[in-house]
Amino acid sequence: MEPFSPTEQQQLAPFFTNLTDPIFGLMLPQEVAGALFSRYSRSAKTLRRIFLDEFLGHFDPALNALANSAASPAEQTAGLKKAREFYDRVLIGYGDDSVAQLGGAHVACEQISNVAAKFLEDARIGIAPLEKSTRYVRFDTKGEDGDFLFYKEPRLMASRHRDTYLSTMRLLFETYAAQIEPMIEFVRRSLPIESVEWKHPQTGDPLTYQETADDEQLRKWAETAYRSTVRAQACDILRSYLPAATLTNVGIFGVGQAFEHLLNKLYSQELSEGQQIATGIQRALEPLIPSFVKRARRSEYLAETFAAVRRASVQCLGQAPVAASQPVTLIDYDEAAEEKIVAAILYPHAHQPLEQLRELVRTFTTEQRQQLLDEYLQRRRHRRDKPGRALEQVSYTFDIIANLGLYRDLQRHRILTQERQDFTTRHGYDTPLEIEEAGFLPDFTRCMDQAATLYEQLVREFPQEAQYVVPFAYRIRWYMKMNLREAVHIGELRTMPQGHPDYRFIAQEMWRLIGAAHPTLAHCARFLDWNTYRLGRLQAEMRSEYKRSSVKDHE
């Protein structure tokens, strides 16, 4: 772990549960912890280093006063003891789990693999994770041991595959590192700053680069935004090399009940990394919310059920072939969707039961139904004006096959049902067009082939651990079941110009299928963007740079 000087240790001690472990808790005001996690996702630094370099001393003096409360140590200890005794009586004695929703904590999980990060982010309710970005952070650095940042899975390291595992992981990272600067230069050449279509960060008016050059401040914003966008574009392309073993950082805020469920699942994992992370998280939470997580432990029900269903699935499926499919397939949807939504729109303003309202809606004319839908939806000014709950009455199930890098982005959505299959190399991989255009295709193919060969060597002996070797370029399969309200949210958010082209395509395909099934309801997503962009992130970066400059000027 990163060493801290004696002075730094003294500064950090009041605000973190430990200074040596990669998993630790935060003893900070909620607002400060949230801001710290936000900065954390876009930095290569550790969270405690960011706190020292960028936060400590820059907030209200009350932050530093946390370490020197007016209450005496005895008073603080007594008060804390009484509070925990209360929670113990209610939570443990009476089993009122809802009490565990009243307290929460921030935990940082550092140097964990992307495989483990997905387990943490599977939690949907009561857990809010934020992960280190592959867009804003380069992965060509090495750790204190002189090696690239990938997880050395204990069972694989103790097996006959150790040397092949290490050489394949290093090949992927070495290729990424060798190509990052040339790729940045390639992106810059393929779309020079002079050719970019600009918009003024304040007014949104179209600009040429020459017009920005006439204004020194505007030119500065444009050039800074362009550099950031080009670098992000290069990182987006080259993340295809990164294996699922790549080490990342995940910041988590959660309520006590959600942490207990998460720990139970992690302790019940077949992968040793999940069990180790569970131990680390529980240790980090004990000084913060000990009453909420003291019941967390391995669940024999979860562990035995997973193992039994896995065995039965192998017997039932045998050697069934892998079927080809479209990237997005709409598996099922509600034929009576429009009727159900219109009835739900009427429900809060009526006195009839829902079933009777649906019968009434069947007698409405097309114009009457359309009028109600328009009144319900047309006043939305932007995507943050969320459509109402009537859209939750109908659902869609999509089966998706897309690259692992893309899955990392779409998995983050919470208010829906998702289930994935194991990470594998058996569905093939996506080759970014820029890889080929930049002349890197032979290297890329060699890396993907070597990873696939290693995967096949591992999967029969280590079916779970084999997932670590799968590069982000390889396709995986998962399904997403969501109601129409969530589909609107995903469609409008994930088709924004600054989004990654891969997930923009998936979101657009989902809405093409919704539109084909329910043409009338396709208009619910008023702010879905169907365009394609080069350097789509640019305008967002320019607005961000403008805001940063404005804050500095104000200070």
Q: Are 22 and 10 in contact (CB under 8 A)?
A: no
Give the separation between CA 245 and CA 209, rounded to whole angstroms.
42
pLDDT tens track, the chain, 555 positions: 788 999 999 989 988 999 999 999 998 765 567 667 877 887 899 999 988 988 776 554 444 444 444 445 554 455 445 545 545 554 555 455 666 676 789 999 999 999 999 999 998 888 999 999 888 889 999 998 999 999 999 999 999 999 999 999 999 999 999 999 999 999 999 888 887 776 776 677 777 767 666 677 777 777 888 888 899 899 999 999 999 999 999 999 998 889 999 999 999 999 999 999 999 999 999 888 887 888 899 999 999 999 999 999 988 987 777 777 899 999 999 999 999 999 999 999 999 999 999 999 999 999 999 999 999 999 999 999 999 999 999 999 999 999 999 999 899 888 899 999 999 999 999 999 999 999 999 999 999 999 999 999 999 999 999 999 999 999 999 999 999 999 999 999 999 988 888 899 999 999 999 999 999 999 899 999 998 877 666 666 655 655 555 445 444
Q: Are 267 and 298 in contact (CB under 8 A)?
A: yes
pLDDT given for residue 191 in this prediction? 84
Predicted TM-score (pTM) of this structure: 0.85
pLDDT given for residue 85 in this prediction? 58
Strands, E assignment, 390-452: 395-403, 417-420
Nearest residue to 322 (alpha-carbon basis) of 452, 424, 456, 426: 426
Query: Would you mind telling me the total number of residues written for the chain in this entry?
Result: 555
Q: Are 403 and 477 in contact (CB under 8 A)?
A: no
pLDDT given for residue 77 in this prediction? 53
16: number of CA atoms within 13 Å, CB side? 25
pLDDT given for residue 63 in this prediction? 46
Q: Are 546 and 202 in contact (CB under 8 A)?
A: yes
CATH numbers and ranges of domains, the chain: 6-134+246-313 (3.30.1360), 325-423+474-524 (3.30.1360.170)
Q: Are 242 and 471 in contact (CB under 8 A)?
A: yes
Give the separation between CA 456 and CA 466, rounded to whole angstroms.
8
Give the separation between CA 165 and CA 163, rounded to whole angstroms.
5
pLDDT given for residue 23 in this prediction? 95
pLDDT given for residue 66 in this prediction? 46
Task: Render 503-540 in DSSP notation, one character per residue.
Answer: HHHHHHHHHHHHHHH-TTGGGG-TT------SSTTHHH
pLDDT given for residue 324 in this prediction? 77
- For the chain, the C-alpha Rg in angstroms (whole number) is 26
